[in-house]
Structure 1
């Protein structure tokens, strides 16, 4: 399956919208809950998603993303969802200006806009799954996004980042939904949600 830049960009936008909905439905009492994402509570995961979206915006705007924290912590709990939704709107606006062959500086290095969109989509969908599982929400990404992510995800996760940004793939879990299989590919699993 060949995923065009137009489709990939739309998948990224749909992933951002999905996470926006998940955040909006997350209750304050769930913020201290554990998630399948190692060492993250729901609050930290939402802060990481904010940082990821800020890096997506900076990449499209061709500004340095080096100063963006791994987990954004200065946003008050009751403003996390609203801040993410506003950021997602800015990300969509900035990425709508790019074309497939544009070269950008993603956080992991120079690449095409298509390659960058792939990376941000995989990251957003996987952490969306983490958030959905941790908060008891439907955890399948919409519109076939995860199915398309699975066709290229292994190529956007270099081995050098295993054990640094990503754990080893979860073995023996090939029967779940496409979204869950994508999460497993990045080393995320349900039994961490303790």
Structure 2
């Protein structure tokens, strides 16, 4: 799927879904834990902003490591605006169809632009799921979106080995009731809710 599909519409949809979740985070939830052991809600929000900034830098031909893993200088009530602003700066970089086949440097290696975007769609949905679970919001995006990303994730992120250069926890067996977004999170090592 990553070789021919234009992932930009799916990335836009993933960002829109996650923006809605960010809009509904209350300030009293910022210190809550999330299914992602590395982040509480506040740092997860800063990480989500960083992922969009990294997608922009990658599309510009830069080094994504020039952007911190967590953008930390955001007011507690400013995460939704920061996320929207990051997306507004990122989209023009990927507007040219040729950018999809250009070779770029992602944190996981040198790949075609479309593969980098697929990686950031995965990150957006998995961390969106983390945020939804942590803040008591509906944790499933549109099923077809999550299924498409899960199909790509299963090809791009090996089930074994995990850890070290493959920065994901072991795959979690999904619950029988798990929807596709939760199954995507399970593939990234998140425990079912």
TM over 0.5, shorter chain: yes
Matching of residues 71-90 of structure 1 within 5 Å: 71-90=70-89
Q: Classify 1:160/1:147 alpha carbon distance in 2 versus 1 (closer, same or farther; 3 Å).
A: closer
Matching of residues 82-101 of structure 1 within 5 Å: 82-99=81-98, 100-101=100-101
**Residues 174 and 186, structure 2, Cα contact 8 Å, conserved in 1:** no
RMSD over aligned CA atoms reads 2.1
What secondary structure, in the 3-state scheme, does the structure 1 residue paired with 2:170 have?
A: coil
CA displacement, residues 7-39 of structure 1 (integer Å, 9 cap, x when unaligned): x11111111111111111111011011111113
Q: Give the Å deviation of 1:45.
A: 0.6
Matching of residues 1-194 of structure 1 within 5 Å: 4-6=4-6, 8-99=7-98, 100-142=100-142, 144-158=144-158, 162-164=162-164, 165-173=167-175, 175-190=177-192
| Matched residue count | 190
**Residues 101 and 113, structure 2, Cα contact 8 Å, conserved in 1:** yes
Please identify, of 175-184 and 154-163, the stretch whose mean Cα deviation from structure 2 is larger: 154-163
CA distance in 2, matches of 1:123, 1:21: 16
Tell me which of the two structures has the higher relative contact order, counting C-alpha pairs closer than 8 angstroms and 6 or more residues apart.
1
CA distance in 2, matches of 1:184, 1:160: 14
Structure 2 residue ranges without an equivalent (≥5): none
CA distance in 2, matches of 1:160, 1:56: 26
CA distance in 1, matches of 2:189, 2:16: 24
Structure 1 residue ranges without an equivalent (≥5): none
Please identify, of 172-181 and 18-27, the stretch whose mean Cα deviation from structure 2 is larger: 172-181
CA distance in 2, matches of 1:169, 1:135: 23
CA distance in 2, matches of 1:190, 1:176: 7
CA displacement, residues 77-107 of structure 1 (integer Å, 9 cap, x when unaligned): 1111110111112222222224332211112
What secondary structure, in the 3-state scheme, does the structure 2 residue paired with 1:110 have?
A: strand
Length-normalised TM-score, structure 2: 0.89
What secondary structure, in the 3-state scheme, does the structure 2 residue paired with 1:111 have?
A: strand
CA distance in 2, matches of 1:40, 1:149: 23
Length-normalised TM-score, structure 1: 0.89
**Residues 146 and 179, structure 1, Cα contact 8 Å, conserved in 2:** yes
